[in-house]
Structure 1
Amino acid sequence: MPKKLPATGKQVSGWLIHLVVFAIANTILWYICYHGKVGWVYPWPAWITAAWALTVIGHACLVWANYEDKGHAEWTRQANNG
Protein backbone atom coordinates (compact mmCIF):
# COMPACT_ATOMS: atom_id res chain seq x y z
CA MET A 1 0.00 0.00 0.00
CA PRO A 2 1.43 3.41 -0.95
CA LYS A 3 2.44 5.71 1.89
CA LYS A 4 0.46 8.93 2.37
CA LEU A 5 2.66 11.98 1.93
CA PRO A 6 2.27 14.80 4.46
CA ALA A 7 1.30 18.25 3.20
CA THR A 8 4.11 20.80 3.30
CA GLY A 9 3.67 24.28 4.69
CA LYS A 10 4.14 25.75 1.21
CA GLN A 11 1.35 23.57 -0.19
CA VAL A 12 -1.04 24.48 2.63
CA SER A 13 -0.29 28.21 2.37
CA GLY A 14 -0.79 28.03 -1.41
CA TRP A 15 -4.20 26.44 -0.88
CA LEU A 16 -5.16 29.02 1.75
CA ILE A 17 -4.25 31.84 -0.65
CA HIS A 18 -6.37 30.14 -3.32
CA LEU A 19 -9.30 29.92 -0.87
CA VAL A 20 -9.02 33.57 0.20
CA VAL A 21 -8.84 34.83 -3.40
CA PHE A 22 -11.85 32.62 -4.22
CA ALA A 23 -13.87 34.08 -1.32
CA ILE A 24 -12.99 37.71 -2.08
CA ALA A 25 -13.57 37.42 -5.83
CA ASN A 26 -16.89 35.65 -5.40
CA THR A 27 -18.07 38.20 -2.86
CA ILE A 28 -17.34 40.93 -5.39
CA LEU A 29 -19.06 39.04 -8.22
CA TRP A 30 -22.24 38.43 -6.23
CA TYR A 31 -22.26 42.04 -5.02
CA ILE A 32 -21.99 43.29 -8.61
CA CYS A 33 -24.78 40.94 -9.68
CA TYR A 34 -27.34 42.05 -7.10
CA HIS A 35 -26.31 45.59 -6.08
CA GLY A 36 -29.16 48.01 -6.75
CA LYS A 37 -31.25 45.50 -8.67
CA VAL A 38 -34.99 45.20 -8.14
CA GLY A 39 -36.85 42.04 -9.05
CA TRP A 40 -35.48 38.86 -10.53
CA VAL A 41 -31.89 38.87 -11.75
CA TYR A 42 -30.21 35.96 -13.53
CA PRO A 43 -27.60 34.59 -11.10
CA TRP A 44 -24.74 34.58 -13.59
CA PRO A 45 -21.99 34.34 -10.90
CA ALA A 46 -23.30 30.88 -9.98
CA TRP A 47 -21.45 29.39 -12.97
CA ILE A 48 -18.16 30.98 -11.98
CA THR A 49 -18.61 30.09 -8.31
CA ALA A 50 -19.41 26.45 -9.07
CA ALA A 51 -16.49 25.94 -11.46
CA TRP A 52 -14.03 27.72 -9.21
CA ALA A 53 -15.26 25.85 -6.12
CA LEU A 54 -14.49 22.57 -7.89
CA THR A 55 -10.93 23.74 -8.54
CA VAL A 56 -10.52 24.74 -4.87
CA ILE A 57 -11.76 21.28 -3.84
CA GLY A 58 -9.41 19.64 -6.35
CA HIS A 59 -6.52 21.72 -5.05
CA ALA A 60 -7.34 20.58 -1.50
CA CYS A 61 -7.33 16.96 -2.68
CA LEU A 62 -3.89 17.46 -4.21
CA VAL A 63 -2.59 18.91 -0.94
CA TRP A 64 -4.12 16.52 1.60
CA ALA A 65 -4.76 13.28 -0.33
CA ASN A 66 -1.32 12.80 -1.85
CA TYR A 67 0.27 9.34 -1.95
CA GLU A 68 3.74 8.27 -3.02
CA ASP A 69 4.19 6.82 -6.48
CA LYS A 70 6.43 3.75 -6.24
CA GLY A 71 6.96 3.70 -10.00
CA HIS A 72 8.15 7.32 -10.26
CA ALA A 73 11.85 6.50 -9.88
CA GLU A 74 11.61 3.87 -12.62
CA TRP A 75 9.72 6.26 -14.89
CA THR A 76 12.35 8.98 -14.34
CA ARG A 77 15.16 6.52 -15.13
CA GLN A 78 13.45 5.40 -18.35
CA ALA A 79 12.61 8.98 -19.37
CA ASN A 80 16.21 10.12 -18.98
CA ASN A 81 17.62 7.19 -20.99
CA GLY A 82 15.39 7.83 -23.99
Structure 2
Amino acid sequence: MPKKIKPTGSQKSMFMIHTVVFVIVTILSCMFYDKGVKGWAYPWHAWTIAAWALCLLGHWCIVYASIEDHGYDVYRQQQGKK
Protein backbone atom coordinates (compact mmCIF):
# COMPACT_ATOMS: atom_id res chain seq x y z
CA MET A 1 0.00 0.00 0.00
CA PRO A 2 1.49 3.39 -0.94
CA LYS A 3 2.30 5.73 1.91
CA LYS A 4 1.42 9.40 2.10
CA ILE A 5 4.40 11.68 1.50
CA LYS A 6 4.96 14.03 4.43
CA PRO A 7 5.36 17.66 3.25
CA THR A 8 8.56 19.52 4.11
CA GLY A 9 8.64 22.83 5.93
CA SER A 10 9.61 24.59 2.72
CA GLN A 11 6.62 23.15 0.87
CA LYS A 12 4.27 24.22 3.66
CA SER A 13 5.68 27.75 3.80
CA MET A 14 5.45 28.17 0.00
CA PHE A 15 1.82 27.02 0.12
CA MET A 16 1.08 29.51 2.91
CA ILE A 17 2.69 32.34 0.91
CA HIS A 18 0.59 31.32 -2.11
CA THR A 19 -2.55 31.35 0.07
CA VAL A 20 -1.81 34.74 1.64
CA VAL A 21 -1.08 36.36 -1.73
CA PHE A 22 -4.27 34.83 -3.15
CA VAL A 23 -6.37 36.21 -0.29
CA ILE A 24 -4.84 39.70 -0.54
CA VAL A 25 -5.24 39.91 -4.32
CA THR A 26 -8.79 38.55 -4.12
CA ILE A 27 -9.77 41.18 -1.57
CA LEU A 28 -8.16 43.96 -3.60
CA SER A 29 -9.77 42.85 -6.87
CA CYS A 30 -13.19 42.72 -5.20
CA MET A 31 -12.67 46.17 -3.70
CA PHE A 32 -11.74 47.73 -7.03
CA TYR A 33 -14.25 45.69 -9.05
CA ASP A 34 -16.61 48.44 -10.19
CA LYS A 35 -14.97 51.67 -9.16
CA GLY A 36 -16.53 54.56 -11.01
CA VAL A 37 -18.90 52.47 -13.13
CA LYS A 38 -22.50 53.59 -13.29
CA GLY A 39 -24.94 50.69 -13.46
CA TRP A 40 -24.01 47.06 -14.08
CA ALA A 41 -20.38 46.04 -14.55
CA TYR A 42 -19.14 42.69 -15.87
CA PRO A 43 -17.68 40.64 -13.00
CA TRP A 44 -14.28 40.17 -14.65
CA HIS A 45 -12.60 39.47 -11.32
CA ALA A 46 -14.64 36.28 -10.83
CA TRP A 47 -12.78 34.55 -13.67
CA THR A 48 -9.33 35.33 -12.33
CA ILE A 49 -10.34 34.39 -8.79
CA ALA A 50 -11.80 31.07 -9.98
CA ALA A 51 -8.72 30.21 -12.03
CA TRP A 52 -6.36 31.12 -9.22
CA ALA A 53 -8.46 29.18 -6.69
CA LEU A 54 -8.16 26.11 -8.91
CA CYS A 55 -4.38 26.55 -8.99
CA LEU A 56 -4.38 26.93 -5.20
CA LEU A 57 -6.36 23.70 -4.88
CA GLY A 58 -3.82 21.93 -7.08
CA HIS A 59 -0.99 23.31 -4.96
CA TRP A 60 -2.71 21.99 -1.83
CA CYS A 61 -3.07 18.56 -3.43
CA ILE A 62 0.62 18.46 -4.33
CA VAL A 63 1.69 19.44 -0.81
CA TYR A 64 -0.79 17.58 1.40
CA ALA A 65 -2.31 14.73 -0.64
CA SER A 66 0.71 13.22 -2.43
CA ILE A 67 1.42 9.51 -2.07
CA GLU A 68 4.44 7.39 -2.92
CA ASP A 69 4.46 5.79 -6.35
CA HIS A 70 6.86 2.86 -6.52
CA GLY A 71 5.97 2.31 -10.16
CA TYR A 72 7.49 5.70 -11.01
CA ASP A 73 11.00 4.42 -10.29
CA VAL A 74 10.41 1.44 -12.57
CA TYR A 75 9.09 3.75 -15.27
CA ARG A 76 12.17 6.00 -15.00
CA GLN A 77 14.46 2.97 -15.31
CA GLN A 78 12.58 1.75 -18.37
CA GLN A 79 12.96 5.16 -19.97
CA GLY A 80 16.74 5.01 -19.41
CA LYS A 81 16.73 7.81 -16.88
CA LYS A 82 18.26 7.65 -13.43
Measured against the shorter chain, the TM-score band is: 0.7 to 0.9
TM-score (norm 1): 0.83
Superimposed CA distance per residue, residues 15-66 of structure 1 (whole angstroms, 9 cap, x where no aligned partner): 1111111112222222221334454322210111111111101110111100
Match of 1:58 in 2: 58
1:20 aligns with 2:20: yes
Structure 2: gaps (5+ residues): none
Q: Distance in 2 between matches of 1:57 and 1:73?
A: 27
**Structure 1 residue 13: Cα displacement:** 0.9
Moved more, 45-54 or 27-36: 27-36
Match of 2:10 in 1: 10
Aligned 1:37-48 pairs, distance under 5 A? 37-48=37-48
Look up the SS of the partner of 1:80 in the other structure: coil
Q: Distance in 2 between matches of 1:38 and 1:20?
A: 32
